[in-house]
């Protein structure tokens, strides 16, 4: 693990075949127009990882996901995804954007949304078959939303919407999940349910890369972490979330780690999308 002024050390890939690496970035810079949002990023994500991408708003977390997904062409550097260039294995990748990027007034049902995950496999203009409908039903059952199949997606609660969009990803049966804030703004039960599902996917050999502002969830439910603030600050085990030096390098001192007996309190209100009006939210974490 390295941080700050040193080049970030990538997560360690298994010492075997190239197929054991899901994602490899070498000196990648990417952004929008002429603005660089992520600079000189190098990162290796082994297959089967459950990786949290952590950093403040505007740090380049979504840019990283979009670059891996092939939705954003990097300015420079090399990106390899599932053994090829970004986009080549699009059918094996499920990308889920932030909930705020979705038009919830669009008149589609829950079943329609989840079926969208099957489109790369079905092909544009072709009708879903028996296998596709079964995959949609299975995915909705997995996220406990099968009874909502015919409901308009905009009528759902925030937690239910997160479940539905995870179901859309599950229905695609991908090898790589790229999820932008999949557990932000949900209740504890929903968060635990969704993380249980994602962890099960990694046990099956699939790879999950998810951005998150929830440091407690990152520390306790993810296996690895990549800290981002315009660059890759540090990478390694998820318990690095408890490292004050890494947090300061990532958040510029706005996240405070306070020892409290055998527990640690993390104040991440300054960078939490859902924190109203600067209100301070504390997450107790067992050491």
**264 within some domain:** no
Q: 168 lies in a domain? A: yes
What's residue 252's pLDDT? 83
CA-CA-CA-CA dihedral for 81, 238, 271, 246, to nearest 10? -100
| Single pTM value for the model | 0.83
pLDDT recorded at residue 151: 93
Whether 18 and 160 share a structural domain: no
**For the CA atoms of the chain, what is the radius of gyration?**
19
Identify the pLDDT of residue 172.
Answer: 94
Q: Residue 15: give its domain's CATH number.
A: 3.40.50.300
Whether 228 and 160 map to the same domain: the answer is no
pLDDT confidence of residue 18: 43
Q: What's residue 185's pLDDT?
A: 80
183 found inside a domain: yes
> Are residue 26 and residue 150 in the same domain, yes or no?
no
Looking at residue 16, its pLDDT comes to 37
Which residue positions in the chain have pLDDT lower than 50? Answer: 1-8, 10, 12-18, 260-287
Residue 125's domain comprises 104-173
pLDDT, one tens digit per residue, over 37-55 is: 999 999 999 999 999 999 9
Same domain, 119 and 245: no
Q: Specify the number of domains making up the chain.
A: 2
Q: What is the pLDDT of residue 101?
A: 62
Tell me, what's the pLDDT at 186? 86
Within a domain: residue 24? yes
- The per-residue pLDDT for range 125-173, each reduced to its tens digit, is 788 889 999 999 999 999 999 999 999 988 898 889 899 999 999 999 9
Q: Are residues 142 and 5 both part of a single domain? A: no
Domain identity same for 42 and 2: yes
């Amino acid at each position: 693990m390295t941080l700050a002024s040193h080049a970030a050390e990538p997560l360690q890939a298994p010492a075997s075949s190239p197929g054991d690496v899901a994602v490899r970035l070498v000196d990648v810079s990417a952004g929008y127009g002429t603005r660089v949002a992520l600079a000189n990023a190098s990162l290796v994500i082994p297959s089967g990882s459950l990786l949290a991408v952590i950093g403040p708003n505007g740090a380049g977390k979504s840019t990283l996901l979009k670059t891996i997904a092939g939705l954003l062409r990097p300015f420079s550097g090399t990106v390899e995804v599932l053994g090829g260039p970004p986009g080549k294995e699009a059918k094996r990748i499920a990308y889920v954007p932030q909930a705020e990027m979705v038009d919830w007034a669009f008149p589609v049902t829950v079943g329609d949304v989840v079926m969208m995950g099957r489109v790369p496999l079905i092909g544009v203009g072709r009708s879903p078959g028996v296998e596709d409908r079964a995959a949609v039903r299975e995915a909705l059952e997995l996220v406990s939303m099968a009874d909502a199949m015919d409901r308009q997606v905009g009528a759902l609660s925030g937690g239910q919407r997160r479940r539905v969009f995870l179901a859309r990803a599950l229905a695609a049966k991908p090898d790589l999940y790229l999820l932008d804030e999949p557990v932000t703004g949900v209740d504890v039960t929903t968060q635990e349910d969704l993380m249980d599902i994602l962890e099960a996917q990694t046990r099956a050999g699939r790879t999950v890369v998810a951005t998150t502002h929830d440091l407690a969830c990152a520390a306790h439910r993810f296996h690895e972490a990549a800290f981002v603030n315009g660059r890759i600050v540090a990478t390694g085990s998820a318990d690095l979330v408890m490292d004050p030096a890494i947090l300061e390098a990532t958040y510029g001192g706005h996240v405070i780690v306070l020892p409290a007996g055998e527990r640690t309190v993390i104040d991440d209100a300054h960078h939490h999308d859902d924190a109203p009006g600067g209100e301070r939210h504390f997450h107790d974490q067992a050491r």
